[in-house]
Chains A and B, each alone.
Chain A
Amino acid sequence: MEAMDATELQTPTLEHTVEALLFLAPDPLSEQELAEATEVDAPEVQSALSALAEQYAQGRRGITLRELGGGWTLASHPAAEDAARRLFSRKRVATLSPAQAETLAIVAYLQPISRPEIARIRGVSADSATATLLERGLIEEGGRSQFGAVLYRTGTLFLKLFGLRTLDDLPDVARWDPTPEEQATLRERLLRAGEARAGSGPSQE
């Protein structure tokens, strides 16, 4: 597979074509898009993709083939990151602040969701976090609620950056539910705090 000779180039295989399309496309290409562009059936595209995936398997090249964001895309190998950072002088993605990560998680799981709803779940305003996530393209506007509030959802960039094929790759959010014991402790602490407040007298506020 090292260097291709002239005859191979003159009769490009489907693999070559798919590889070229992936190279050109700025966004992940779905199997259907590839099938339409190359005018072949989906199974053929799939076998071409798996052959390509074989060649681009981790560690073989400076580029990897990834299934992300509802399609296939070429990505750089993490080994090149240091050099890439020197070349582009920009981190691939700035780290997320806790508020941004929380807001992003809520949008990712509950989309489409409005800002007031996010704020209700977090217990604090989500305005600046939402604005930053929007600016970075991690979330986008997706219509309006029946009350006219803008609804937010995640886009392809989110899936790409977080290495997800689809939103279904996210684990069930219920797995982070606290255990009954933790819930009981929390409830007890809450009630104790409530009693302490009540004990301090109603004239306190």
Chain B
Amino acid sequence: MRLVGSDRYGARMSIATLELDLDLFSGPFDLLLTLILREEVDLLELALADVVLAYLDHLEAQGELDLETATEFIVLIAALLELKSRLMLSGEDDDELLDIEPAQAAEELLERMLEARRYRAAAGHLGELLQREEGVRFREAPLPANLRKTVTQPSDGSQSPDLLGEALGRLLRMPPAISLRHIGVPKITVAERLAHLRGLLRRGRFSFDEAVRGADRMTVAVTLFALLELYKRGEVDWEQEESFGEIAVHARAQSVESYTERIAG
């Protein structure tokens, strides 16, 4: 491995133009990055340590450390390392991982449940202790002032009527109204959902679940209104085999055309 420092930009060379001569690749660093991202160079086969060594050689040849370039290099090489480590780890079958996960999750959940149980029982014990101590009282009165080791006087001026008045005055002033502009109120209109449903209808049959996949509750509710509206207008019909089952929606014969025009308006 050998480093060919490019002098095109003088001493302050961008890291992109760092010339590399590795087993797998020879050329500027940025080309290597591009090829890796396009998966034309296999990152798993590339020895990143060699890239680091090449950079260190380059630094030595240059005799001075350019912080900006160094930072750039570290960021890039770190990203490559992360990418590579992920590639190496994902070698296992994904399905296998999915199989393990519920069992592991259950095990973890169990551990937590046991822990929670332990402290619930401990709480019960505390309750018994409290019960046993029922009726035992202690002196609650503070020590009389003349018996205390240290006497804390209210600080000077804190009891002046002016201060009290000012404090009360502040309380009486109406505070500015709190702006709620940052809270986005979700606005979903029936018209929007009508358009959405008609779009689906044009493609043929669909299920209600499909129509609201990934939607929030508000959208689901409004979509249901829209569906009822379509039914009322005689545009759609639906079937549901059982309670909570899938709702299959389909267009009612020869109604689609006539009504599509109406919504547009």
Contact = CB atoms under 8 A, between A and B. Distances in A.
Interface of A: 23-26, 64, 66, 73-81, 84, 92-93, 95-96, 98, 101-102, 104-106, 108-109, 120-123, 160-164, 170-171, 173-174, 176-178, 183, 186-187, 190-191, 194, 198, 203
B102 to A, nearest CB: 6
Interface string B75-97: 00000000000000000000000
B143 A26 contact: yes
A75 B124 contact: no
Nearest to B127: A101
29 contacts: A25-B139, A64-B136, A66-B136, A75-B137, A76-B135, A78-B136, A80-B135, A81-B135, A92-B134, A92-B135, A95-B130, A96-B130, A101-B127, A105-B122, A105-B126, A109-B119, A109-B122, A121-B115, A122-B116, A123-B112, A162-B129, A163-B129, A163-B132, A186-B110, A187-B110, A190-B110, A194-B105, A194-B106, A198-B102
Contacts of A80: 135, 137
B143 A98 contact: no
A96 B127 contact: yes
B263 interface: no
B252 interface: no
Contact of B112 (A26, A121, A191): A121
Contact of B126 (A23, A25, A108, A120): A108
A183 B115 CA distance: 11
B134 A177 contact: no
Contact of B143 (A24, A76, A162): A24
Given A76-B135, A105-B120, A105-B126, 12 more contacts: A24-B147, A26-B139, A73-B138, A77-B136, A79-B135, A102-B123, A105-B123, A109-B122, A121-B119, A162-B133, A174-B118, A186-B113
Which 3 pairs show the lowest CB-CB distances between chains A and B?
Answer: A78-B135, A81-B135, A176-B121
Given A106-B119, A176-B121, A74 B109 contact: no
Given A81-B137, A187-B106, A101 B124 contact: yes
B146 to A, nearest CB: 12
Contacts of B126: 96, 101, 104-105, 108, 162
Contacts of B143: 24-26
B130 A98 contact: no
B259 to A, nearest CB: 30
B119 A122 contact: yes
B142 interface: yes
B178 interface: no
Contact of B109 (A24, A173, A190): A190
A12 B140 CA distance: 27
Nearest to B139: A26
B125 interface: yes
Contacts of A161: 130, 133
A80 B138 CA distance: 12
B107 to A, nearest CB: 8
A99 to B, nearest CB: 9
A109 B120 CA distance: 12
Contact of A92 (B117, B136, B209): B136
A102 B113 contact: no
A26 B138 CA distance: 8
Contacts of B141: 26
A71 B115 CA distance: 32
A136 to B, nearest CB: 12
Contacts of B163: none
B1 interface: no
B218 interface: no
Contacts of B130: 93, 95-96, 161-162
Contacts of B102: 194, 198
